[in-house]
Structure 1
Amino acid sequence: MSLARICVTPHEFVLEGHGPRARTGVLLVHGMTGTPNEMRLVARGLQREGFTVYAVQLAGHCGTVDDLLATRWTDWSASVTAGAERLRPHVDRLVVAGLSVGSVLALALAQERPDLVHGVCALSTIFRYDGWTIPFYTRFAFLLPLLRVLGIGRRRMFMEAPPYGIKDDQLRGHIVARMHAGASAEAGLPGNPWWTIQEMRRLSARVRRRLEQVRAPCLVIHARHDDVAAVSNAHEIVRGVVHAPVELLLLDDSYHMITVDRERRTVVARMVDFAGRVAEGRLAGAHG
């Protein structure tokens, strides 16, 4: 299969690398209710530095709420695994980089398929919705499994609230306008369905329990003032991954969507540095 043909949906994209770094691939995983588009700036930055980049689309995303509700966390995880398997024949080393819930899925891939993963970039990891904009009633999320069993709230959603994960005012206005205009393939959905939140909680619980099984080096980047996921989510990775090196970068001028917010260039620079050291075999992990 040629590199240009590994994309399986119109919303996925691949950017072919150049030079010696082209044989190191970076698999980008967007967040829950998000789209591959939220990873585009990072993808371009990585490709400029020579890396081959593939932004995968999670099952049920880039469509309607019903499309999303038809999937479970195992379907999202299967999308990431399939993407890694499609990219792997074209590269010698693979870094998987996820944003938000995509970060949790990246860690899950490292746990399940250490043979595929040589490095993990965990961006704005969200094990828990506990940022400073999250309303108090989300503390009752533990009731979601019961509501699902009873068939209650299938189409109910936790609507996103200002500042929508973005500190940059101008950028926030553009993205929110697209989101509320129904451009789900470009800007994602404007909220998180209750039942989808429950799937996210199941995924997070599984990955958190098994962090010690991550054997690939990790780069963890998180905003100190993340409005959606408190910085404690990042510290949990630092504490839990004990069999591979973990690097932590905390940002001071961004909110949750660090791949597009004010410090996106810093994010790209650190990812380039990390992937470069993976490419050169200078980070010890499961693959040596």
Structure 2
Amino acid sequence: MPVLPGAEPYAHDGSDVGVLLIHGFSGNPQSMRPWGEHLAEAGFTVRVPRLPGHGTTWQEMNRTRWQDWYAVADREFRELRERCSHVFVGGLSMGGSLALAIAEEHGPRVSGLVLVNPAVKFNDWRLRLIPVLKYVMPSAAPIGSDIKKPGVTELAYERAAVHAAHSQFVAWRTVVRDLPEVTQPVLLLRSTEDHVVPAASSELILSQISSQDVTEILLHESYHVATLDNDAPRIFEESVAFIERLSSERLSS
């Protein structure tokens, strides 16, 4: 299946501090590449994989499931751990829930999490119908490119893959159940106006994780895809400062 131009994975080999960035549902590495390039310029080793079914067609995405996406993210994390002494995981939207799942499985092998508008909960009552609707409605209205900055577009699907979405919602139950197992330092950046993921999603995460080192930053000039929006420079700068602080603390301990 041909990959859309711009949706290719991104990789950079730098220091022994690694960063894995995971894109969101129906998106692809295009939404994370500027962030990845900024981290590379800061000297880190960076991986931005393309999750299965993403960056091609929504029809192909409907043939993939959460387990497929997690398997790729987990593989990239394990490869970074073999190369680097410290590995941080960042995620946008569904990428944030995948990052949490990695932290829940790998524990202290994850040095820290950077979550941007992480998705583990939706408030829309219509989602309760998806287990039935997926059999009669394979796609729905798109959710991509929720961006405030004029002239900027996310390379996302023109339709949302309903079968794949249902898999994501089911997986969230396990991620949320195991949130108390997250003890790593967390930097969470949340848009105050997000038309995709409600504030309640971040609130749930922050109320259930066991991390002692937690920073929440509100983004007032961005919508959901904040990594491409007006607050992107702040996300990039704050994540570099977070990673550098924790890396230096571990080296001195």
User: Secondary structure of the equivalent of 1:227?
Assistant: coil
Helix, strand or coil at the partner of 1:221: strand
Q: Distance in 1 between matches of 2:205 and 2:160?
A: 24
Q: Give runs of aligned pairs for residues 21-60 of structure 1, distance below 5 A.
A: 22-60=15-53
SS at structure 2 position matched to 1:43: helix
Residue of structure 2 equivalent to 1:82: 75
* Equivalent pair of 1:224/1:230 in contact (CA under 8 Å): no
CA contact (8 A) 1:158 1:194 kept: no
Match of 1:168 among 149, 152, 174: 149
Aligned to 1:127: 120
Which stretches in structure 2 are left out of the alignment for 5+ residues?
1-6
Question: What residue is the counterpart of 1:13 in the other structure?
Answer: 10
Q: C-alpha offsets along residues 18-55 of structure 1, whole Å, 9 cap, x if unaligned?
A: xxxx1110001000111111111111111121111110
Task: After TM superposition, give the deviation of residue 244 of structure 1 in Å.
Answer: 3.7
Q: Partner of 1:28: helix, strand, or coil?
A: strand
The offset of 1:200, in angstroms, is 1.5
Letter in 2 for 1:124: N
- Runs of 4+ with >6 A deviation: none
Q: State how many pairs are aligned.
A: 246
In structure 1, what residue type is equivalent to 2:96? Answer: S
In the alignment, is residue 116 of structure 1 matched against residue 116 of structure 2?
A: no
User: Measured at CA, do residues 277 and 258 of structure 1 come closer, stay the same or move farther in structure 2, by a change above 3 Å?
Assistant: same
Q: CA deviation at 1:281?
A: 2.8
1:141 aligns with 2:133: no
Cα offsets for 1:237-260 (capped at 9, x unmatched): 211112442210111111111111
- Measured in 2, the distance between the counterparts of 1:192 and 1:244 equals 36
SS, match of residue 259 in structure 1: helix
Q: Secondary structure at the match of 1:250?
A: strand
What is the match of residue 242 of structure 1? 210
Report the AA paired with residue 227 of structure 2.
Answer: T
In structure 2, C-alpha distance between the alignment counterparts of 1:44 and 1:65, rounded to whole Å: 27
The normalised TM-score by structure 2 is: 0.91
Distance 2:31 2:61 in 1: 18
The answer to whether the Cα contact below 8 Å between 1:166 and 1:255 also exists between their aligned partners in 2 is: yes
Cα deviations by residue, 1:54-86 (Å, 9 ceiling, x for unpaired): 101112211122221111111111111011112
TM-score, length basis structure 1: 0.80
Q: How do residues 192-211 of structure 1 correspond to structure 2 at under 5 angstroms?
A: 192-211=160-179
